[in-house]
Amino acid sequence: MKKKTQLLVFLYIAMTLLTACGPKAETPQAPAAAAKTETQAAAANDAGVQIIDEILATFDQCVADAAALAKDKPEAAVLMPQLEKLYADYGVKMAALNAKFLALRDRDIFAFRRTNGYMTDNRPKHVFNKDTVLSPAYVYYNLEKGEPAVVDMLSNKITKLLDDAVKQ
């Protein structure tokens, strides 16, 4: 009787191991699924980089337009409404780009995180370029005219457009 019980226990363990460790039907499909997932991830990453590049290009264009308005050094009373209108127009563009940015977050959170990293790497360069381009206007309106409102409009409010495009 003891040998029969030992034999049954041994057979039970052997069957359990064979069942648990046997070949899986899903194994041949796994490489195809992994390739599809990698392709989707690469497409999402490319889409995220394109969105950020579009946001930064729009910001650079806004800076160029603001510099063109301030180039001839008009009076602050003339320049302020022009800058407000310019920022309102670009605010609409940035809101549309923010919608694309948030759609990426809803579609693929990992690509969204990588896109945020790309923005973190590239944003400082564009903000520094903004300061370089608008430096003559800063000097004129701050030091010569004593108009801190115009300087704030040129330095801080324009950067807020960039922040609005990537707010979550």
- Do the domain assignments include residue 72? yes
- Domain assignment present for residue 24? The answer is no
Tokens describing residue 26 = 């899903």
Confidence (pLDDT) at 36: 52
Token digits of residue 88: 């309102």
Say how many CA atoms lie within 13 Å of 12 toward its Cβ. 6
Residue 140 counted as domain residue: yes
| Residue 160, pLDDT score | 93
Q: Could you tell me the mean pLDDT of each successive run of 10 residues in the chain, 168 residues long?
A: 74 72 58 58 77 94 95 92 95 94 90 91 94 93 89 92 89
- Report yes or no: 41 and 111 within 8 Å, Cβ to Cβ: yes
Give residue 134's Cα distance to chain centre: 25
> For helices 158-165 and 30-71, what crossing angle results, to 10°?
160
Residue 31 maps to a domain: no
Establish if 6 belongs to a structural domain: no
- Distance, CA of 53 to CA of 45 (rounded, Å): 12
| pTM confidence score | 0.74
Task: Report if residue 81 sits inside a domain.
Answer: yes
For residue 52, being part of any structural domain is answered with: yes
Its domain, for residue 161, covers 42-165
∠ CA(79), CA(160), CA(91), 5° rounding? 70
Q: What is the pLDDT of residue 50?
A: 93
Instruction: Decide if 15 is inside a domain.
Output: no
pLDDT at residue 47, as a whole number: 84
**Number of folded domains in the chain?**
1
